[in-house]
Amino acid sequence: MRERDDCDLVVVGHGAAGLAAALSAAEAKPGARIALIERTDETQAGGGTRWSPSNMRLRSVDETAPDFVADMLACGEQTDREYYERLAEEAPAAAAWAQGHGVAFHAPGYYLSSGPPRIQPVGGGAAIVAALARAAREAGVEFHYGLRAESLLRGPGGSAGGVRVERGDGNALALRARAVVLASGGFQGNPQMLREHLGPSAERLRPISPGSAWNTGEGIRMALEFGALRAGDWSGMHSEPVDARTRASAPVVLVYPYGIVVDRAGRRLFDEGAGLMHETWEHYSRQIHFAAAGRKAWVVLDARLQSIEGWQRAVRSELPPIVADTPQALAAITGIDPDGLAATLAAYNAACTGDPAGFDPSCADGLATAPELAPRKSNWACALATPPYYAWPIEGAIAYTFGGLATDTEARVLGREGPIPGLYAAGEITGHFHRSAPNAVAVLRALVYGRIAGRAAIARAAH
Ligand SMILES: Cc1cc2nc3c(=O)[nH]c(=O)nc-3n(C[C@H](O)[C@H](O)[C@H](O)COP(=O)(O)OP(=O)(O)OC[C@H]3O[C@@H](n4cnc5c(N)ncnc54)[C@H](O)[C@@H]3O)c2cc1C
């Protein structure tokens, strides 16, 4: 690339959203000059998508899960209805399109409890990145690695007229274009922004995967400086409970609903059975990070764990659990206060008055503790009294942030006067998540709105 260069469209980011945008633009206008800018080298490109299992809330490649829009609005805002309606409408076409480019899908059943139907690419998000990058290259998209987008260039009439990028050697390049798609993710990799928007100690949140570190909110900052409006919950994030002993990518521990979760003092922190795992994991991992001493907790279970068919698929750590024959021995190995743990287990076991024959890990089984126990456990409450005892130390790890850019259903970035001409955004960089992340939707929206952004941006560039 030269120090000044011109193209029709520049796309920032090599994840699901950026690749979908670049490829669909190239398909819509063969021969157009489309440049995709990525800050990492080729081996690391792909952001969160690359490390994500990429579960998608679809019944099959050609059918969305039932109640899709209502479910989205239940964890979002009514103002986003049109955004989710279009997402639901185009989700099957986006999945089929990815399939047409070589992404195979299956439904491996990652969670133990029931929930909305989900499908997953074979090979996870890395398969999406590989397939769409290959197809985009074949369609003529130019890939530029090791270039960090730094600011937006102004075009005629206040439009986005390209991107100023920085090379690893510190030199800057001006890449002029008739339209820009920003798809550079959230700000989970930016400790200052995390602290500013999520509060003290947010800067110490562990990134769930190596890809998270690259998303430092630069695309968001660039667009805000250009007059874009903010949207989404800026203090919101999706986090998950992971094994604190390993630095591997996403070593989630998702068996906590079937046991108890205690802090270092041996005290329970919350109602472990308040809902299905995917309804509670985000809130609980956040609570562990912000409220538990040392930002750490332990999941404690007993021999009943082995009766849960396939429990191993809900633990993605390469390390085995800590195992002991008595709670005292478990406390000695983990460092949990032994008296605190003994007292908690005694109170908890006494409150497990339901018939353990009703224990059913696959659904909310209603097996609750007696109401006087605080915190109560609403489902799967069975005494933990049969050795061996198992424990995993867990901490909250951040997957992505919710705060981002305001966009409309054409993926246009909105400013005070309406859509900013020539500026589009898709994926995690956009702010459409609020109270909690709708389960298995982030990759789907990156694909759907990435395609919408790519088609709309190249249509504008062509005129
Ligand atoms: C471990 C994990 C598990 C997940 N599981 C699921 C799941 O099962 N289902 C689901 O729907 N979602 C899941 N998610 C979330 C989902 O994967 C992401 O939200 C989604 O893939 C984001 O796609 P994106 O294209 O918007 O951003 P990304 O895939 O993060 O891509 C952003 C790209 O932009 C690049 N970039 C950043 N800044 C710049 C810059 N200044 N200049 C140039 N390039 C830049 C980055 O390097 C990166 O390549 C998970 C996420 C993680 C990390």
Which pLDDT band holds residue 115 (cuts at 50, 70, 90)?
confident
Q: Whose CA is nearest to atom 14 of ligand 1?
A: 52
Cβ atoms < 10 Å from Cβ of 78 = 6
- Write down all domains in the chain, each with its CATH number in brackets: 4-236+403-462 (3.50.50.60), 238-397 (3.90.700.10)
**Mean pLDDT of the chain, nearest integer:** 95
Question: Ligand 1 in contact with 39 (CB < 6 A)?
Answer: yes
Q: Which of 209, 214, 282, 429 best tests ligand 1's pocket when mutated (most atoms within 8 Å of CB)?
A: 214
The predicted structure's pLDDT at residue 334: 98
Cβ of 121 closer than 6 Å to ligand 1, yes or no, is no
Nearest-atom number in ligand 1 for the CA of 428 is 26
Query: For position 90, what pLDDT does the model report?
Result: 97
pLDDT digits (tens, 9 = 90+) for 372-420: 999 999 999 999 999 999 999 999 999 999 999 999 999 999 999 999 9
CB 406 within 8 A of CB 267: no
Q: Is 232 in the pocket of ligand 1 (CB under 6 A)?
A: no
Tell me if residue 412 falls in helix, strand or coil.
Answer: strand
Cα 426 from Cα 288, distance rounded (Å) = 31
For 366, phi then psi, to 5°, come to: 75, 5
Cα 408 to Cα 294: distance, rounded to the nearest angstrom:
41
What is the 429 CA–ligand 1 centroid distance (Å)?
9
Specify the ligand 1 atom closest to the Cα of 51: 1
Q: Do 442 and 238 meet the contact criterion of CB atoms below 8 Å apart?
A: yes
How many A from CA of 182 to the centre of ligand 1? 12
Please check the confidence at residue 4 and state whether its pLDDT lies above 70: no
Angle between helices 124-138 and 81-100 (to 10 degrees): 70
Atom 19 of ligand 1, nearest CA residue: 442
19 lines ligand 1 (CB under 6 A): no
Q: Is the pLDDT of residue 213 over 80?
A: yes
Ligand 1 within 6 A of CB of 334: no
For the CA of 150, the nearest atom of ligand 1 = 41
CA 197 to ligand 1 centroid distance, Å: 19
**Residue 421: pLDDT band with limits 50, 70, 90:** very high
DSSP designation for 361 = T
Which residue's CA is minimally distant from atom 52 of ligand 1? 52
Cβ(207) – ligand 1 distance below 6 Å: no
pLDDT digits (tens, 9 = 90+) for 279-303: 999 999 999 999 999 999 999 999 9
**Which pLDDT band, with edges at 50, 70 and 90, does 65 fall under?**
confident
* pLDDT for res 79: 73
